[in-house]
Chains A and B, each alone.
Chain A
Amino acid sequence: MAIEVNKCVGCADCVVACQIENNVPLGYSRDWIMEHVTGTYPVLSMHFESQRCNHCDDTPCVRTCPTGASFVAEGGIVKVTHNDCIGCGACIEACPYDARYFHPDGYVDKCTFCDHRVAEGLDPACVSVCPTTCMHFGDLDNPDSEISKLIKSRENFTLIPEAGTAPQIFYLK
């Protein structure tokens, strides 16, 4: 996934779309908006980041899971098998992005990149509703895909690369 930081206006449509699409319980969210303000008054600049699970290449959450409930599905999407999850919280502690939470039913829940939609060839809910089209979704393993070209052509950054998780959401400057 790639997100153009300068196009994002922080409307949080992605958050609401996700909550509705995935039936996320009230008071919880799988994605969220982070507001960054830098500079000293009056010279200030602000940008928004729509954040969610980074579906890392090197997954600390999957590594620490004692039951194998957390796993990397084919295509690189990190998922949780609810009925294998004991709710120990190891993956929540392991995630530097705090992308996981306890569902009120006890198991751990997180962003799935709307894999049910992706399987049908659709974009994830958050991407599909973005009014400024700042989000792009595609196959990063394919060097000829639109998203791979976009990431290659633009200056970008990832979140907390120093944690060593090789995050797979790229923020385009």
Chain B
Amino acid sequence: MKEYILDTTRDIHGLYPHVHIWGFPIAAYLFLGGLAAGILLFATIYYLKGKADDMPFTVKIAPIFTFIIIMLGLVLLVFDLHHKLYVFKLFTTFRIESPMSWGAWTLVGVSIFSLMWPLSYIDDIEKYLHERGWKRLDVVTIFIRNLEHNWLIPRFMIMFFRKHRTFFAYILLVLSIILGIYTGILLSAFNAHPLWNNPILGPLFLTSGISTGSAFVMWLSNNKKERRLMSTIDMALIAIELFFIIHMIMGLQAGPEAFKLAGGLFLGGPFTVTFWVLFVGFGLVLPFILEAFELKGHHIPPALPAILVLIGGLLFRIIMVQAGQVSEYPF
């Protein structure tokens, strides 16, 4: 006789004692989405301000990475689905109430336009890379060049993108803001988790995403003026982020019981050290101080604050995804 044990209490993996169905892939995807949004935001804003030639890396080169970043994020996202083969169902419908649905459609838009943007600058990119001696990347530009000359369509498309670049810039600007906010709103739509379900999370994620975008540009740019500007912007963004964090914790502490418990996760709870020391300390305050010293003329490698901000951004999302799932309504 075969014996089966029937479960009469809840012991479902991932649900007990806390919901734990989203892990690193989702956090990493939210980080990559915010990063891509930040890079595109700066590229389009400075293009529209007519500073494309003053800030070549921000406007022309950095957006090359966005397509790769978004594709990586999408791979992580699909990897995390449990019913992977049905992923196309996302695109057979649009549900205005579901942030995930808009996110899916926004990502389609962003990935298409973020491919067009660098293509419209293909000549400048080639020149830039050549000047900087990044010869290995020539392979890519030569490949695209060959496509252009062998087939008429790519050339036609590139000319079309170039002609309507301002139009694309406006579209990308709007899409990048939606993408940046959406990564935060995605979490705040879940009213089962009081930590996520707070209205400041959207702006906080947007600010953090733009901050990682500026850090990325600051890290890889060779132009001193550009780096200084990005460093200043990043400092302002970090200050706003700190303000939002204090605002969030205060709001949670002033709320009903479930919200107090959620805030308590960072005030003596299991996430206190990771949040305040690793994220706020090493991911926000330390890079802020380093950037301030750098602007005052002290020699600090620009990669250091930039990498700290990037790691901090990723860590922030990991903490929020984990802590949010721990915070629940008691019943």
In the complex, per-residue mask of A84-104: 1 if CB is within 8 Å of any chain B CB, else 0: 111111101111111001100
In the assembled complex, the Cα of A81 lies from the Cα of B262 at a distance in Å of: 33
Q: Indicate if the CB atoms of B89 and A84 lie closer than 8 Å.
A: yes
Q: Indicate if the CB atoms of B4 and A26 lie closer than 8 Å.
A: yes
Say whether A9 faces chain B, with CB atoms less than 8 Å apart: no
In the assembled complex, the Cα of A97 lies from the Cα of B19 at a distance in Å of: 10
In the assembled complex, the Cα of A68 lies from the Cα of B95 at a distance in Å of: 7
Contact partner, A96, options B5, B6, B13, B329, Cβ 8 Å = B329
Q: Indicate if the CB atoms of B87 and A66 lie closer than 8 Å.
A: no
In the complex, per-residue mask of A66-88: 1 if CB is within 8 Å of any chain B CB, else 0: 11110000000000000111111
Say whether A150 faces chain B, with CB atoms less than 8 Å apart: no
Q: Indicate if the CB atoms of B191 and A164 lie closer than 8 Å.
A: yes
Q: Indicate if the CB atoms of B8 and A66 lie closer than 8 Å.
A: no
How far apart are B181's CB and chain A's nearest CB, in angstroms? 16
Within 8 A of B (CB), among A41-84: 60, 63-69, 83-84
| Chief secondary structure at chain B's binding surface | loop
Q: Indicate if the CB atoms of B83 and A32 lie closer than 8 Å.
A: no
Q: Indicate if the CB atoms of A33 and B98 lie closer than 8 Å.
A: no
Choose the segment among B99-107, B126-134, B149-157 that binds chain A (4+ C-beta atoms closer than 8 Å): B99-107
In the assembled complex, the Cα of A26 lies from the Cα of B304 at a distance in Å of: 51
Q: Indicate if the CB atoms of A101 and B256 lie closer than 8 Å.
A: no
Say whether B21 faces chain A, with CB atoms less than 8 Å apart: yes
Within 8 A of A (CB), among B148-185: none
Residue numbers in B under 8 Å from A19 (CB-CB): 6-7
Residue numbers in A under 8 Å from B22 (CB-CB): 89, 93
Q: Which of B12, B193, B258 has the most CB of A within 10 A?
A: B12
Are A93 and B19 CB-contacts (below 8 A) given A67-B101, A102-B82, A162-B256?
yes
In the complex, per-residue mask of B229-262: 1 if CB is within 8 Å of any chain A CB, else 0: 0000000000000000000000000001010000
How far apart are A84's CB and chain B's nearest CB, in angstroms? 5
Contact partner, A162, options B4, B100, B258, Cβ 8 Å = B258
25 A-B pairs with CB atoms under 8 Å apart are: A26-B6, A29-B12, A32-B9, A33-B9, A60-B192, A64-B98, A64-B100, A65-B98, A66-B90, A66-B98, A67-B93, A68-B93, A86-B81, A86-B90, A90-B98, A90-B190, A93-B22, A93-B190, A93-B193, A96-B329, A98-B15, A98-B19, A98-B192, A163-B191, A165-B191
Closest 4 A/B residue pairs (Cβ): A87-B82, A87-B83, A12-B8, A106-B83
